[in-house]
């Protein structure tokens, strides 16, 4: 197992960093790495353990994934999907999600993972912006797609995994008619693989375009925050949706890459007791658990489990939660840090060095991370500034989809700007302080205010709206909206506005608090000053 790793533990972090070199293969394809090479060598090897909503278990081998994804690639090609064109994936944690990703990469097409909680407005924007020509979904989400299909002239192919409608292809019936032999597109590290939409503070969501190299770039960080994955008996799971970078590139892809059985079971609503039961029943040894999941699990009275590694990211966990993890999960939780544009650039690895209170870890192996001042100059240890990452590492995005100006703004010379404020101490530990912008971090999700504000302002009773994050003990922050009305308002209107955002964008971004105010604080040029709305500490 150790021979698969890019990083070998000498327990000297700086020596491991100094001796590391990124592989530069002339050809690189995610489908080849996470499926095909295993299917050739060990076709019967278990790749996926799927637990359905009814608790029933079904195992899938690499050979099965290879054949089924080739069939899907062939039917997509037969219906006209070409290399470089986009195929959206609107599915929870299911085998069809994996098959759609694999099929896209085999064709050289570009996957567009989408969160199943997105409503019609959230889907419409992302599907239109990406120009998705194909989409794979299920019966639970198909109605949202059909409701907006007339607004999406590029969307020519819609597949449903379990429900038939006029003009919709049946996923499995199509596969039954297709060949299981498929020629792999010859791709390089820099060929596009998928678009992951990320929220910012101004304007609509931006599509972060990643190349096939993104898998390679994640491997050192995954290996180390899982205390040198893979090891015999490892089995990996996350409650995080595979549509997000944390679920897709921290768990789904790396597990398959290493031949570590991947557990798939997405709760309709996260239940901490069920999470403990799942870990116990399936002998899950490794997990990515977002901070909110950990905080909810801490409230559970379920008996302790024994895990080999747990990773978490999005906020500093603190000594209390780390101590709880040692007692109830049987391991020290390794915190890490990254963004949709460039993930896993900081992290901990208790197998290599001791964590430090309040720190999100050290610069990941293969990544150079610094603190910059407002002029883009490196700051010395101990001084507060913006966390920045040197260009060129594989996990860094290719750019924002069709937005070269926004891509350029993300960089200062050779450095990618994270928009996060922090400091590096004398021992190389990084300490996150605050966001430099107004992005809200709630339950592990990064939520941009603009999309929510636009949705609220579309209501006839709303003149203007501003959205901020306010502290919350479980979720880190909750979304709060300040609304200027055209007329009178009451509690019923607040409920109506919350429901509007839930249905049109997604429940995970809906305000949990709404406050009606007479006017919003504005700059001389008419920009909302969200910082003036934040609670004063």
What tens digit of pLDDT does each residue of 348-364 get?
Answer: 999 999 999 889 999 99
Residue 531 CA to residue 65 CA, distance in Å, equals 49
Q: Is the dihedral of CA 280, 281, 284, 290 positive or negative?
A: negative
Rounded percentage of the chain residues whose pLDDT exceeds 90 = 79
Q: Which residue has the tokens 């996260």?
A: 270
What tens digit of pLDDT does each residue of 394-411 get?
Answer: 999 999 999 999 999 999
Residue 347 CA to residue 163 CA, distance in Å, equals 43
Residue 191 CA to residue 272 CA, distance in Å, equals 40
Listing DSSP states for 392-406 in one string gives T-TTB-SEETT-HHH
Q: Could you tell me if 119 and 503 are in contact, meaning their C-beta atoms sit under 8 angstroms apart?
A: yes
Mean of the pLDDT values across residues 124-128? 97
425 by Cβ neighbours in 10 Å (0-12 / 13-18 / 19+) ranks as: middle
Counts for the chain of helices (H) and strands (E), in that order: 17, 27
SS (H, E, C) 425-452: CCCCCEEEEEECCCCEEECCEEECHHHH
pLDDT of 241 strictly over 50:
yes
Number of Cβ within a 10 Å radius of residue 219: 27
Task: Give the model's pLDDT for residue 454.
Answer: 78
φ, ψ (nearest 5 deg) of residue 434:
-165, 165
Interacting residues of 242 by C-beta distance below 8 A, sequence separation 6+:
92, 93, 97, 113, 248, 251, 252
According to DSSP, residue 293 is labeled H
Residue 266 CA to residue 256 CA, distance in Å, equals 18
Residue 197 CA to residue 115 CA, distance in Å, equals 10
pLDDT of 537 strictly over 50:
no
Number of Cβ within a 10 Å radius of residue 379: 15
Interacting residues of 479 by C-beta distance below 8 A, sequence separation 6+:
440, 442, 447, 452, 467, 468, 469, 509, 510, 511, 512, 513
**Among 276, 304, 303, 302, which Cα is nearest to 289's?**
276
Which token pair is 96?
Answer: 């069809």
According to DSSP, residue 25 is labeled -
Residue with more model confidence, 520 or 199:
520
Q: Could you tell me if 1 and 231 are in contact, meaning their C-beta atoms sit under 8 angstroms apart?
A: yes
Average pLDDT of the chain is: 93
Mean of the pLDDT values across residues 451-458? 86
131 by Cβ neighbours in 10 Å (0-12 / 13-18 / 19+) ranks as: middle
Rounded percentage of the chain residues whose pLDDT exceeds 70 = 96
Number of Cβ within a 10 Å radius of residue 267: 15
E-strand spans in 80-191?
A: 86-90, 110-113, 134-137, 157-160, 169-170
Cis peptide before 230, with omega less than 30 degrees from 0? yes
Which pLDDT band holds residue 527 (cuts at 50, 70, 90)? Answer: low
Q: Could you tell me if 346 and 364 are in contact, meaning their C-beta atoms sit under 8 angstroms apart?
A: yes
What tens digit of pLDDT does each residue of 501-513 get?
Answer: 999 999 999 999 9
Mean of the pLDDT values across residues 320-342? 94
Mean of the pLDDT values across residues 332-340? 95
pLDDT of 194 strictly over 50:
yes
pLDDT of 200 strictly over 70:
no
Per-residue CA distances from 125 to 207, 454, 459 (Å): 11, 12, 18
Q: Is the dihedral of CA 238, 354, 218, 506 positive or negative?
A: positive
What tens digit of pLDDT does each residue of 426-443 get?
Answer: 999 999 876 666 778 888
**Helix (H/G/I), strand (E/B), else coil: 61:** strand
Max intra-chain CA distance, the chain:
68
**Among 257, 214, 261, which Cα is nearest to 236's?**
261
**Helix (H/G/I), strand (E/B), else coil: 372:** strand
Q: Could you tell me if 422 and 453 are in contact, meaning their C-beta atoms sit under 8 angstroms apart?
A: no
What tens digit of pLDDT does each residue of 284-308 get?
Answer: 999 999 888 898 898 899 999 999 9
Which pLDDT band holds residue 222 (cuts at 50, 70, 90)? Answer: very high
Cis peptide before 256, with omega less than 30 degrees from 0? no
**Among 93, 111, 128, which Cα is nearest to 265's?**
93
Task: Give the model's pLDDT for residue 270.
Answer: 86
Per-residue CA distances from 310 to 15, 255, 294, 307 (Å): 24, 14, 10, 7
pLDDT of 207 strictly over 90:
yes
Residue 69 CA to residue 175 CA, distance in Å, equals 9
According to DSSP, residue 6 is labeled S
Task: Give the model's pLDDT for residue 246.
Answer: 93
What tens digit of pLDDT does each residue of 71-84 get?
Answer: 999 999 999 999 99
Q: Could you tell me if 155 and 135 are in contact, meaning their C-beta atoms sit under 8 angstroms apart?
A: yes
Residue 140 CA to residue 161 CA, distance in Å, equals 10
Provide the residue ranges of all domains of the chain, joining segments of one domain with +: 440-533
Residue 237 CA to residue 248 CA, distance in Å, equals 11
Q: Would strands 369-372 and 385-390 be described as parallel, antiparallel, or unpaired?
A: antiparallel
Residue with more model confidence, 163 or 482:
482
Q: Could you tell me if 403 and 381 are in contact, meaning their C-beta atoms sit under 8 angstroms apart?
A: no
Assigned superfamily of 440-533:
ANL, C-terminal domain (3.30.300.30)
């Amino acid at each position: 197992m150790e021979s698969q790793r890019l990083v070998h533990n000498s327990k000297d972090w700086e020596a491991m960093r100094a001796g590391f070199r990124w592989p530069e293969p002339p050809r690189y394809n995610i489908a080849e790495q996470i499926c095909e090479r295993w299917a050739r060598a060990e076709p019967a090897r278990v790749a996926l353990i799927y637990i359905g909503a009814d608790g029933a278990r079904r195992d899938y081998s690499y050979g099965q994934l290879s054949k089924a994804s080739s069939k899907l690639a062939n039917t997509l090609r037969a219906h006209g999907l070409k290399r470089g064109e986009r195929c959206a994936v609107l599915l929870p944690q299911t085998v069809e999600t994996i098959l759609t990703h694999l099929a896209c990469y085999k064709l050289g097409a570009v996957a567009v993972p989408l969160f199943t909680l997105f409503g019609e407005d959230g889907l419409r924007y992302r599907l239109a912006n990406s120009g998705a020509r194909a989409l794979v979904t299920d019966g639970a989400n198909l109605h949202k797609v059909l409701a907006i299909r007339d607004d999406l002239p590029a969307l020519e192919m819609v597949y449903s995994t379990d429900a038939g409608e006029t003009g919709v292809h049946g996923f499995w019936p199509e596969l039954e008619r297709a060949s299981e032999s498929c020629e792999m597109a010859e791709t390089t590290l820099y060929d596009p693989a998928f678009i992951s939409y990320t929220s910012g503070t101004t304007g609509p969501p931006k599509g972060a375009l990643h190349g096939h190299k993104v898998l390679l770039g994640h491997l050192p960080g995954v290996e180390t925050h899982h205390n040198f994955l893979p090891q015999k008996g490892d089995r990996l799971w996350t409650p995080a949706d595979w549509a997000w970078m944390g679920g897709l590139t921290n768990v789904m892809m790396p597990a398959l890459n290493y031949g570590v059985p991947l557990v798939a079971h997405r709760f309709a609503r996260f239940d901490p007791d069920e999470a403990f039961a799942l870990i116990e029943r399936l002998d899950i040894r490794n997990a990515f658990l977002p901070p909110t999941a950990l905080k909810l699990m801490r409230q559970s009275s379920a008996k302790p489990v024994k895990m080999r590694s747990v990773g978490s990211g999005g906020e500093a966990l603190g000594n209390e939660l780390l101590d709880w993890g040692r007692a109830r999960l049987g391991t020290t939780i390794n915190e890490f840090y990254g963004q949709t544009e460039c993930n896993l650039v900081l992290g901990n690895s208790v197998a290599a060095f001791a964590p430090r209170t309040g720190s999100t870890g050290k610069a990941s192996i293969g990544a150079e991370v610094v603190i910059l001042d407002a002029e883009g100059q490196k700051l010395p240890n101990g001084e507060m500034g913006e966390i920045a990452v040197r260009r060129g590492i594989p996990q860094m995005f290719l750019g924002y989809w069709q937005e070269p100006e926004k891509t350029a703004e993300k960089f200062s010379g050779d450095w990618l700007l994270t928009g996060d404020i922090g400091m590096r101490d004398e021992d190389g530990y990084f300490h996150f302080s605050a966001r430099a912008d107004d992005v809200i971090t709630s339950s592990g999700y990064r939520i941009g205010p603009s999309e929510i504000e636009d949705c609220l302002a579309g209501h006839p009773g709303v003149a203007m709206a501003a959205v901020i994050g306010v502290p919350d003990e479980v979720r880190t922050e909750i979304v709060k909206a300040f609304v200027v009305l055209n007329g009178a308002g009451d509690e019923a209107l607040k409920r109506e506005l919350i429901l509007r955002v839930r249905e049109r964008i997604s429940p995970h971004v809906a305000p949990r608090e709404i406050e009606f105010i007479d006017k919003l604080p504005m700059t001389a040029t008419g920009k909302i000053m969200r910082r003036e709305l934040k609670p004063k500490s």
